[in-house]
Structures are given as C-alpha cells and as structure tokens.
Amino acid sequence: MPRTSKRAVKNPKSVKTARGGKSGGAYRNSRAGKSIRMVYLVGLILVAIFAIGFLIVQIAGELAPWRLAGDISPNDARKQIAEGAVVLDVRIREEFVAGHIEKSLFMPLEELTSLMSALPRDRLIITVCRTGLRSIQARYILEEAGFSQVTSLKGGMEAWIAAGFPVVYGEPARNN
C-alpha cells in the first residue's frame, strides 16, 4: 500500500518543487506570470496588425492606377532623353549630389510647385527620384498643373543604376 502523508495540502498549486520554487501553477497565476502573458499577447497582436497592414499595402500597390500606367522603364527613358526629353530630379540635394542622370534639372519635390514655371510645356518631362515614389508624386503635381507630357522613371535612380546607365556626380547647375 502506498504511503500517504497525513499533512493536508490546502493549495496544490503552491507546492514547492524539488528546487525550492513554486510549481508552474503558482507562477501562472502570479502577477509576473500575468504580466508576461500580457506582453506576449500584445506582441502577437502588434505582429498581426503589422502583417495585415503590410499585405494591404502590397495588394493596394499592385492594384493602384499609378502602377499600371504613367511610368517609363530605364531603357525607354534613355531613348526619350536622347530624343530631347527633360529629366526632372525631385530628390533632396544630398541624393542629387551623390549621383544623377546627366543634364537633370534639380527641383526637390518640396519646392516643385514654386519652381515648376521654369519647366518647358512642349517637351516630355521624366520625373526621377531614388526609388520611384516621389517621382510619381511629382508627376501628379505637374499633371494637375496642366503639364500634359509627363512620366516618371519606374524604379527611380536605383533602377537606372541597376541597368548600368551612366551617372554624374556633383552640385546641380543653376536651373531654378
């Protein structure tokens, strides 16, 4: 017959373990255990929100109209530049100085509305930035201002450089 203890255990969750600590049940119900579970739960919720947001942005980006029309590949841009298109670089000065397409006009996106009167209305304007997002904004600003021949470089300077096309360095010429 197994030996039983005559001492009654009031709370089995508070039984000490072999190492002297409380058993898992006591920790689970302690303030520290609840706090840890709460932090873990909040972390999971934040990860889920981030993942859902990321998916929405990806889907919206694929379906957005500015991704379907209005931009030009680096190869096509190079051909258009050779035929007289104007390259409008809308990045900040530091980005421009670090490398730009030869003969680019420098007009940071933040200053575009005040400087756009210097742009020709009778030639194609190719807007350029680092990755293509600011150039899309610039294209829309120019289109809203009545410029009819405007496109943006798909992938921006990163795509231009990846295509192996030439880049020049230095301060912008006084074009504005």
Same domain, 23 and 102: no
Q: Which residue has the higher pLDDT, 157 or 34?
A: 157
Helices (DSSP H) in the chain: which residue ranges? 24-28, 31-63, 65-68, 74-82, 93-97, 112-115, 133-144, 156-162
Same domain, 73 and 134: yes
Q: Is residue 97 part of a domain?
A: yes
State yes or no: pLDDT of 33 exceeds 90: no
State yes or no: pLDDT of 87 exceeds 80: yes
pTM above 0.85, yes or no: no
Same domain, 21 and 101: no
State yes or no: pLDDT of 20 exceeds 70: no
Q: Is residue 99 part of a domain?
A: yes
Q: Is residue 132 part of a domain?
A: yes
Q: Is residue 79 part of a domain?
A: yes
Which phi and psi (to 5°) does residue 151 adopt? Answer: -145, 170
Same domain, 59 and 75: no
Residue 90: closest CA among 73, 112, 71: 112
**Average pLDDT of the residues in 4-18:** 54
Same domain, 52 and 126: no
Please enumerate in sequence order all residues whose Cβ is within 8 A of that of 29, keeping only pairs 6 or more positions apart, or say none: 13
**How many domains does one find in the chain?**
2
Q: Is residue 172 part of a domain?
A: no
Q: Is residue 9 part of a domain?
A: no
The residues with which 168 forms a beta bridge, in sequence order, are 100
- Domain of 21, in residue numbers: 14-63
Name the catalytic one among 129, 136, 153, 159.
129
The CATH number of residue 99's host domain is 3.40.250.10
Q: Is residue 84 part of a domain?
A: yes
Angle among Cα 158, 130, 100 to the nearest 5 degrees reads 80
Q: Is residue 174 part of a domain?
A: no
Same domain, 75 and 146: yes
State yes or no: pLDDT of 66 exceeds 70: no
Same domain, 136 and 155: yes
Instruction: Check if 129 is active-site.
Output: yes
